[in-house]
Structure 1
């Protein structure tokens, strides 16, 4: 078809919907109870946003925002439907497992860092929450207080020791 017959006013650009945090193929979507509640809250906020958009007058900006919100909601619904809440039992409190708050001492630096192993959607470095799929989480999972673990970062290897393990039961 010739470009002369294309109505360029009707050519809307589809929104780029940001992907959710990556979850490797075949890995269950583990979440903490708090993380699951945060996902449901996010869904509620997206539903509110869509309702507000419905009340606006029709225009190009509204359609774009509506497509964006509905796309985000579809990705979120898929993540929620695949979520598996992992509850911590008292038997697991001696080993680093999903949901644990762990304090580590890095051998070469003599510094300590506390972090919590959480689901991929709940991970937030500023809050010291890391995804259970992260390399450091994999290195310390199953360790006990006093155990050492090595984290390979490219050519560098960082050694660390588990100082404490805490679960919010």
Structure 2
């Protein structure tokens, strides 16, 4: 199985979430289940069933994170020779040539992607079009509304 690329920040965020779930959330749920059990009849005990459902969700998320962490390749952008070429982890400023609008994206792994935070997956159409290209090159991105031309304005290793 091929390792999924992830930035250092993405790995840190996953590890922090995992730590939080294991050290804080899990014990709280176990305590809630124990308290609900004390109330007697488990068949009609809503608190018990809610705590068990939360426990199931939390354990699933813990397994999901552990699985992801076991299958990632962390790419530290600071250890890559800097240049004008777009690579995984770079922050790219592009200009939509039709609208003359500038936007900046950081190219990250699938689990880190968050368009609102201007982080796009390396597998997204825009990122795939940009990868390997250099400053001032024009790329064409196939969009549902038609082809969109972007010029690479800047590439940052931050």
Report the TM-score range of the alignment, normalised by the length of the smaller protein: 0.7 to 0.9
How far apart, in 1, do the equivalents of 2:62 and 2:69 lie? 10
**What SS is found at the alignment partner of 2:111?**
coil
1:122-162: CA deviation from partner (whole Å, max 9, x where unpaired): 11111100011111000000010011100001350000100
Q: Counting helix residues as a fraction of each chain, which structure ranks higher?
A: 2
1:75 aligns with 2:64: yes
Structure 1 moving runs of 4+ over 6 Å: none
**What SS is found at the alignment partner of 1:95?**
coil
Structure 1 unaligned regions, length at least 5: 1-25
Q: CA deviation at 1:27?
A: 5.2
| Corresponding pairs, count | 143
2:45 paired residue number: none
2:27 paired residue number: 51
Superposed CA RMSD in Å reads 1.4
| Most deviating of 103-112 and 27-36 | 27-36
1:103 paired residue number: 93
Q: Summarize the Cα distance change of 1:65–1:120 in structure 2 as closer, same or farther, 3 Å threshold.
A: same
Partner residue of 1:138 out of 128, 135, 149: 128
How far apart, in 2, do the equivalents of 1:27 and 1:152 lie? 26
2:117 paired residue number: 127
**What SS is found at the alignment partner of 1:91?**
coil
**What SS is found at the alignment partner of 1:121?**
helix
Q: How does 1:12-27 map to 2 (within 5 A)?
A: none
1:94 aligns with 2:70: no
